[in-house]
Amino acid sequence: ATAGLTPREVEQLGLSLEDVGGGRLVAFDHPKHLTANIPIGNVDLVVLGGFVSPEASRRMLKWIRRHWHGCMCLMVGSDAADEQVARESGAMFLLRPVTGDVWDGVLDGALQCQAAKLTSA
């Protein structure tokens, strides 16, 4: 699930998802739309764009942790304030612009975490 990414970032992430061979990408224009349209099923990765206030980002990351405690959280932003919010909230952080190779690595990591959860269950 993604919220608050640029159209180009969503496109890159979608292409990377195709490259790794599967999955479903659900993109929302704004984080509040995610809470109003909660995806059904397992969520292995949530990517937030840093277009909202730090307080809203903190609330959103806390909400994600409550609803999908086992999923990876990643925040994409453009400055140190975005990075600080991500790190304080237990999310990984990527500085814009994010390249296709980096998205490939993020999805590979999410798939590895998913596989580890399945084998330990």
pLDDT digits (tens, 9 = 90+) for 32-52: 888 888 888 888 899 998 777
Task: Report which residue type is found at 4.
Answer: G
Q: Cα–Cα distances in Å, from 80 out to 83, 88, 90, 93, 121?
A: 5, 12, 15, 10, 37
- Is pLDDT larger for residue 114 or for residue 62? 62
- As a whole number of angstroms, the distance between CA 1 and CA 39 comes to 8
- Cα angle for residues 39, 40, 43 (degrees, 5° grid): 70
Mean pLDDT of 89-110: 92
Q: Render pLDDT for 50-77 as a digit per residue (tens, 0 to 9).
A: 777 889 889 999 999 898 888 889 999 9
Following CA atoms 119, 91, 5, 106 in sequence, which dihedral angle do they give, to the nearest 10 degrees?
-40
CB 37 within 8 A of CB 28: yes
pTM listed for this prediction: 0.86
- Is pLDDT larger for residue 101 or for residue 115? 101
CB 26 within 8 A of CB 39: yes
Phi and psi at residue 77, to the nearest 5°: -150, -175
Task: Report which residue type is found at 114.
Answer: Q
